[in-house]
Amino acid sequence: MAQMTMIQAITDALRTELSNDPNVLVFGEDVGVNGGVFRATEGLQKEFGEDRVFDTPLAESGIGGLAVGLGLQGFRPVPEIQFFGFVYEVMDSISGQLARMRYRSGGRYSAPVTIRSPFGGGVHTPEMHADSLEGLMAQQPGLKVVIPSTPYDAKGLLISAIRDNDPVIFLEHMKLYRSFRQEVPEEEYSIPLGKAEVKREGSDISIITYGAMVHEALKAAEELEKDGHSAEVIDLRTVSPIDIETIIASVEKTNRAIVVQEAQKQAGIAANVVAEINDRAILSLEAPVLRVAAPDTVFAFPQAETVWLPNYKDIIETAKKVINF
């Protein structure tokens, strides 16, 4: 097995599916010769040719529309939106078009499209690069939204996303791209969409999260253990639809939960998870389910982002509130 960073695991997944399925096409801004601004598509154009891996003109809406049209022609497009903050330019293609293709055509057509895009804070980007906009996507029926937290998951989930016959928004946290390596099998494997993973078992509180916050949550769980609190950490991996069974089973065991997201507190994934727990497990709860999230402003400029982003200390603080309720 090879040690891979998340970006290498993503490239490996793309290579795997480009090899497996001649209908898979990878395209976007600078994904060809340049291999993508983060090198996610490094070497793929050389290996698979310009017909399969190609640069587009600089227009996100056009990239989305191209994916819709290629999907209609039986291709399996995997476009890249260079940074997910640019998604507003392609919102119609995503929410107005891809997500509705199956409905609009009475089931005749689908949109087997996986849109990959980097997002996430902590890497000092300019404005409109780092925002966590998964909540915006999760509100759209017809889409699936996937956010891996490790290289191993990134490969397995991306392969599943590409093979899925519905449109998938695959969001890659920039801070995780090269922050650590992990053993990643070179052969193909898939991780089912819609399945969470219990990253750490515990009995006193469930910490439900995804993306880069998984690592903050694990760190918090270690600290909490020193204080005698056993925290279970759940990585959602797919934020829409969420894995309700795993969440509820955990809450029924621990009777306490907090939900952690890097996105702003208002609306979003965490609010949905809290509401679902209240709907389904209220009698198991010993305390209210609280959230750890960023404040309700637009994403902070780099000088302020360290404070703006939730971290393990915030998680510990909120977890203790719930434990001591």
Nearer to another protein, 3 or 165 (CB): 165
Instruction: Tell me the per-residue interface mask from 152 to 171 with another protein, x by CB under 8 A, - otherwise.
Output: ------------xxx-----
Do the beta carbons of residue 12 and residue 186 sit within 8 Å?
yes
Nearer to another protein, 36 or 77 (CB): 77
- Closest C-alpha to 94, from 143, 131, 132: 143
Burial class for 156, CB neighbours closer than 10 Å (0-12, 13-18, 19+) = buried
Instruction: Tell me the per-residue interface mask from 199 to 228 with another protein, x by CB under 8 A, - otherwise.
Output: ------------------------------
Nearer to another protein, 95 or 264 (CB): 95
Maximum alpha-carbon separation in the chain: 60
62 binds another protein (CB under 8 A): yes
Residue of 39, 102, 253, 320 that binds another protein (CB under 8 A): 102
139 binds another protein (CB under 8 A): no
CA dist 257 to 202, 209, 293, 323, Å? 11, 11, 14, 9
Spatial distance between the Cα atoms of 206 and 249, rounded to a whole number of angstroms = 10
- Decide if 129 is catalytic: yes
Do the beta carbons of residue 102 and residue 109 sit within 8 Å?
yes
Q: Which stretch binds another protein (CB under 8 A): 107-115, 177-185, 209-217, 297-305?
A: 107-115
56 binds another protein (CB under 8 A): yes
Residues 108 to 137: which contact another protein by CB under 8 A? 108-110
59 binds another protein (CB under 8 A): yes
Spatial distance between the Cα atoms of 273 and 289, rounded to a whole number of angstroms = 9
Could you give the angle at the alpha carbon of 59 between the alpha carbons of 55 and 65, nearest 5°? 90
Residues annotated as part of the active site:
129
- In the complex, the residues that contact another protein under the rule CB under 8 A are 25, 51, 56-57, 59, 61-62, 64-75, 92-93, 96-97, 102-110, 141-142, 144, 164-166, 194, 241, 244-245
